[in-house]
């Protein structure tokens, strides 16, 4: 076979292998980090294992098909052997779950048996298969340490590749030194491409998570944003229409906050907002009911509390607790002690609500009823 044909086969097969690998890595990382799709969240590891099986099956069948149909095995880089080695190595490191280890060991066993069937069974071929399986178990057991230490990662990949290529030699006899060199170079290139591409995807996913966090959480107070509040409120109402489980809303507003900004500046105002939000969130996280706190305006906060009982005494106690904790906060600006009070409006969802906004309108109306009654006041279901 001419050098030009070998070079063309080598480059084209390397490109095809890289494209297939990168496509699988993209799909794998998407399934691994998808957080919106409920089906994927419920069956994540099953889907990842299934993808790994499909990938290995494709690579192995291509390798066997090329082995059986090709008339010239010189330069067996195009046999997909590298894809099998790279796939096995990275699946164990990435998933780190027992089902994937079992699948990998079974695949290696089948690979070894099929290799022995096409060539004479020898103690060396058995040792190669068992050796690769032992290395796979060690990689599974020390996966975190391997990923965390680049030098250990490189050594582990070299050892794993040695056993993988040794098993490949059972299928492909009579390879030249040049063929082996091309094979090893292609293997290193493919693993390098995967590492680089995975890092790029990882950085992109980090940026996406950062943007998502900024969209969902207020940068100043750490509370959830109005957009999240609107979505959660719709979901709560939809859940109520299906299950009749009651939820409550507490609308809160800091009294005379504008005076703090005008008198002491926005830096002081920001400190007040952060401190008050932190205090209320501490209370919210320790309630008897699941609840979430949102910043729904400049100095306005709203709490949604789920699966509550229509207990006015309990609702009033929660409102008074929030009010009392905020009133105990002490601020000092320009050597002056500043106290903060808060007004609240609270109500629960009812069967008469036509849509998710009806409760919001009532709670907001009750909040401003508290404001008009002199501030530092609580209005529950329209009653002071």
Per-residue pLDDT of 215-253, as tens digits, reads 999 999 999 999 999 999 999 999 999 999 999 999 999
> How does the average pLDDT of the chain come out, rounded?
86
Distance CA 79, CA 327 (A): 74
Tokens encoding 147:
């990923």
- Banded model confidence at residue 310, pLDDT cuts 50, 70, 90: confident
Q: Are 303 and 292 in contact (CB under 8 A)?
A: yes
Distance CA 236, CA 368 (A): 24
Instruction: Name the nearest CA neighbour of 256 among 343, 333, 367, 379.
Output: 343
Instruction: Name the nearest CA neighbour of 30 among 284, 219, 202, 211.
Output: 202
How do residues 65-77 score in pLDDT, each as one tens digit?
Answer: 766 666 555 555 5
- Banded model confidence at residue 312, pLDDT cuts 50, 70, 90: confident
* Concatenated DSSP letters of 177-189: HHHHHHHHHHHHH
The phi and psi torsions of 308 (rounded to 5 degrees) equal -95, 160
* pTM listed for this prediction: 0.70
User: Does an H or E element contain 251, and which?
Assistant: strand 248-254
Instruction: Name the nearest CA neighbour of 63 among 18, 111, 126, 117.
Output: 111
How do residues 30-89 score in pLDDT, each as one tens digit?
Answer: 898 887 888 998 999 889 888 888 888 888 787 777 666 665 555 555 567 888 888 889
Instruction: Name the nearest CA neighbour of 213 among 232, 231, 227, 199.
Output: 227
What local confidence, expressed as pLDDT, does residue 57 receive? 85
What local confidence, expressed as pLDDT, does residue 118 receive? 61
How do residues 115-174 score in pLDDT, each as one tens digit?
Answer: 666 665 566 778 888 888 999 999 999 999 998 899 999 999 999 998 888 877 766 666
- Give me Rg for the CA atoms of the chain: 32
Distance CA 49, CA 53 (A): 6
Number of residues in the chain:
384
């Amino acid at each position: 076979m001419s050098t030009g044909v070998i070079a063309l086969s080598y480059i084209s097969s390397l490109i095809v292998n890289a494209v297939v690998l990168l496509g699988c890595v993209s799909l794998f990382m998407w399934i691994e980090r998808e957080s919106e799709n409920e089906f994927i969240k419920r069956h994540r590891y099953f889907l990842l294992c299934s993808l790994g099986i499909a990938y290995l099956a494709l690579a192995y069948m291509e390798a066997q098909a090329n082995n059986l149909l090709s008339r010239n095995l010189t330069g067996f880089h195009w046999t997909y052997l590298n894809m099998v080695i790279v796939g096995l190595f990275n699946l164990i490191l990435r998933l780190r779950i027992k089902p994937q280890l079992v699948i990998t060991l079974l695949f290696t066993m089948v690979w070894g048996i099929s290799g022995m069937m096409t060539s004479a069974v020898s103690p060396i071929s058995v040792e190669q298969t068992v050796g690769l399986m032992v290395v796979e178990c060690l990689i599974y057991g020390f996966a975190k340490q391997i990923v965390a230490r680049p030098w250990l990662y490189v050594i582990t990949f070299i050892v794993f590749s040695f056993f993988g290529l040794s098993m490949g030699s059972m299928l492909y006899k009579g390879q030249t030194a040049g063929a082996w060199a091309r094979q090893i170079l292609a293997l290193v290139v493919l693993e390098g491409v995967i590492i680089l591409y995975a890092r790029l995807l990882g950085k992109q996913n980090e940026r996406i998570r950062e943007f998502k966090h900024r969209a969902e959480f207020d940068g100043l107070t750490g509370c959830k944003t109005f957009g999240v509040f609107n979505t959660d409120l719709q979901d709560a109402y939809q859940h109520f229409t299906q299950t009749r489980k009651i939820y409550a809303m507490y609308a809160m507003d800091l009294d005379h906050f504008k005076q703090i900004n005008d008198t002491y500046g926005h830096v002081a105002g920001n400190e007040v907002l952060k401190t008050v939000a932190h205090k209320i969130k501490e209370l919210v996280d320790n309630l008897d009911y699941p609840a979430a706190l949102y910043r729904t305006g400049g100095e306005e906060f709203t709490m949604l509390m789920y699966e509550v009982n229509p207990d006015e005494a309990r609702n009033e106690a929660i409102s008074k607790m929030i009010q009392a904790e905020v009133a105990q906060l002490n601020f000092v600006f320009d050597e002056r002690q500043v106290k903060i009070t808060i007004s609240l409006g609270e109500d629960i969802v009812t069967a008469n609500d036509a849509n998710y906004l009806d409760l919001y309108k009532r709670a907001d109306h009750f909040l401003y009823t508290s404001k008009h009654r002199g501030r530092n006041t609580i209005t529950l279901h329209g009653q002071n």
